[in-house]
Chains A and B, each alone.
Chain A
Amino acid sequence: MEVLLFGIAKDIVGRSSWYPNEGDETPATVSELKERLKKSFPEFGKLTSLAVAVNSEYAEDSVSLGQNDEIAIIPPVSGG
């Protein structure tokens, strides 16, 4: 499972994508993914907000993640 990273998320991880299944089980839901991310990179816990997009739509914590989904971490947005 590949997770796309943008903005400060990319800086925290140090890459533009992250593989949460490396040597572990794949997160099954958005909330599991967020927990895994905060455990691997505690800096994410300090952000103003943390959202996840599944197939380029904001996804609630309960949404399931599939192998073919496009998944992205959305740190606090600041356009405009």
Chain B
Amino acid sequence: MDKNIIIEIVGDIDVAKVYSELSHPRSGGICVFFGAVREFTQSEEVIALEFETYKNMALKEMDKIAKEAVEKWDLNKVVIRHAVGKKKVEEPVVVVGASSAHRDGCFEACRFLIDTLKKRVPIWKKEIFKNKKVWVSAHP
């Protein structure tokens, strides 16, 4: 695997280490996106989110997305890391980041990484409310 690409599925996301993972002597710009648990979905209070994954395939898809981004924006480093298990309000669930010579590349790449992850990577999120549980996006 490309040493400049970090792909992981973890129990908990360490928010502090991503800067050093993306830092690179040729990178003048580092852009990072964190996804976190939000308290309300359409005015209903969310207690927690529960994530599960098809791990082999998720890692493979994440790696493909990272490689597509490196190709397109000439990135020096890429991180895609997703958490699984039960996550409470304000906890981080996903982090994606990219570093490049100038800021335009890493900003655009970061948006692509999270948008494409949401469309393609086999990870499923269940919203846990006070009196029901709902698989997100399952039904139209």
Contact = CB atoms under 8 A, between A and B. Distances in A.
Interface of A: 4, 6-8, 11, 46-48, 53, 56-58, 72, 74-80
A61 to B, nearest CB: 18
B125 A79 contact: yes
Contacts, number: 80
Q: Which 10 A-B pairs have the closest CB atoms?
A: A79-B123, A7-B124, A56-B57, A78-B136, A8-B135, A80-B118, A78-B125, A78-B137, A8-B138, A76-B137
B120 interface: yes
A77 B120 contact: yes
B124 A8 contact: yes
A10 to B, nearest CB: 8
A53 to B, nearest CB: 6
Contacts of B25: none
A79 B57 contact: no
A78 B135 contact: yes
Contacts of B54: 4, 6, 53, 56, 72, 74
Contacts of B93: 80
Interface of B: 35, 51-54, 56-58, 60, 82, 93-94, 114, 117-126, 135-140
Contacts of B119: 77
Contacts of A11: 135
A47 B124 CA distance: 14
A6 B35 contact: no
A19 B128 CA distance: 30
B65 to A, nearest CB: 11
A58 B35 CA distance: 25
A72 B57 contact: yes
Given A48-B139, A79-B122, A80-B118, 13 more contacts: A7-B126, A11-B135, A47-B138, A48-B137, A72-B122, A74-B54, A75-B138, A77-B118, A77-B137, A78-B136, A79-B58, A79-B82, A80-B93
